[in-house]
């Protein structure tokens, strides 16, 4: 039986399309460039603290906390009020005090898509097959004057993202996302930069997001001044207040 399995494995490897081998090779280089799988998996929690800047000079203090495998809590503080978006691995909720709402309520469809992206601790490329994601290599493309490897990621919920990896450092420099919300297509662009090491793993300290094709002035920018690794985070921080366990 063992010999038969080895033969089948060899045949499967030979039958693997070049694009699939390129995908796994690129993702392996991305993981290695990020710090290696051992260091990536050694991160059990992250707390990102910084500032959001929007059009017209709008500013907010932001804190994002992530805990393996897929819990996330995002806080936005404006004029003494703090809003929360969170996902505990099962359900998403929010508190929006600026709308006069002090009690938690369920996230909407669009918000759930976004927070599921944020909740994926390592992102959709690492262990993509285990997560049910399909990844395809789509060649090279120019991103702001530089060559980048283009990977198409299709998630089980139907969302599609295009990851552009820097050809020198193999880290994502842009992510384009397409999703259907209430039957209508939506497209977003996110540019990533200012990579720094956190516990031996390179993470982006800045991101700029907006609708596809929008100008820089119409995009929101997040700049983190601190990212802390392996901070103690109780599961209750991600659970909806008042919800029964």
Secondary structure, 3-state, the chain = CHHHHHHHHHHHHHHCCHHHHHHHHHHHHHHHHHCCHHHHHHCCEEEEEEEEECHHHCEEEEEEEEECCCEEEEEEEECCEEEEEEECCCCEEEECHHHCCCCCEECCHHHHHHHHHHHCCCCCCCCCCCCCCEEEEEEEEEECCEEEEEEEEECCCCCEEEEEEECCCCCEEEEEEEEEECCEEEEEEEEEEEEEEECCEEEEEEEEEEECCCCHHHCEEEEEEEEEECCCCCHHHCCCCCCCC
pLDDT at 175: 96
CB 207 within 8 A of CB 190: yes
**Cα 135 from Cα 235, distance rounded (Å):** 31
pLDDT at 245: 53
pTM recorded for the entire structure: 0.87
**Cα 47 from Cα 25, distance rounded (Å):** 30
pLDDT at 129: 95
* Digitized pLDDT (tens) for each residue of the chain, 245 residues in all: 544 333 333 334 444 444 555 899 999 999 999 999 999 999 999 999 999 998 878 899 999 999 999 999 999 999 889 999 999 999 999 999 987 878 999 999 889 989 999 999 999 999 999 999 999 999 999 998 889 999 999 999 899 999 999 999 999 999 999 988 788 888 999 999 999 999 999 999 999 999 888 777 778 999 999 999 999 999 999 999 986 55
pLDDT at 183: 82
Residue ranges per domain, the chain? 18-237
Contacts of 158 (CB under 8 A, 6+ apart): 179, 180
Class of 18-237 in CATH: mainly beta
């Amino acid at each position: 039986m063992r010999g038969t399995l080895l033969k089948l494995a060899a045949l499967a490897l030979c039958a693997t399309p070049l694009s699939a081998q390129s995908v796994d090779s690129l993702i392996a280089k991305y993981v290695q460039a990020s710090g290696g799988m051992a260091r990536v998996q050694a991160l059990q929690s992250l707390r990102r603290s910084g500032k959001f800047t929007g059009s017209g000079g709008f500013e907010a203090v932001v804190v994002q906390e992530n805990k393996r495998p897929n819990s996330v809590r995002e806080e936005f503080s404006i004029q003494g009020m703090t809003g929360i978006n969170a996902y505990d691995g099962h359900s998403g909720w929010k508190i929006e005090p600026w709308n006069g709402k002090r009690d938690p309520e369920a996230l909407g469809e669009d918000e759930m898509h976004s927070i599921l992206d944020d909740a994926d601790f390592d992102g959709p490329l690492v262990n993509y097959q285990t997560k049910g994601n399909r990844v395809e290599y789509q060649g090279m493309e120019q991103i702001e004057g530089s060559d980048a490897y283009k990977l198409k990621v299709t998630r089980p919920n139907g969302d599609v993202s295009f990851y552009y990896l820097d050809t020198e450092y193999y880290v994502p420099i842009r992510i384009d996302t397409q999703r259907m919300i209430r039957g209508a297509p939506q497209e977003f662009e996110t540019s990533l930069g200012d990579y720094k090491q956190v516990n031996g793993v390179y993470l982006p300290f800045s991101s700029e997001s907006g609708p596809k094709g929008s100008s820089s002035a119409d995009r929101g920018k997040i700049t983190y001044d601190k990212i802390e690794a392996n901070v103690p985070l109780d599961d209750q921080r991600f659970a909806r207040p008042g919800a029964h366990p």
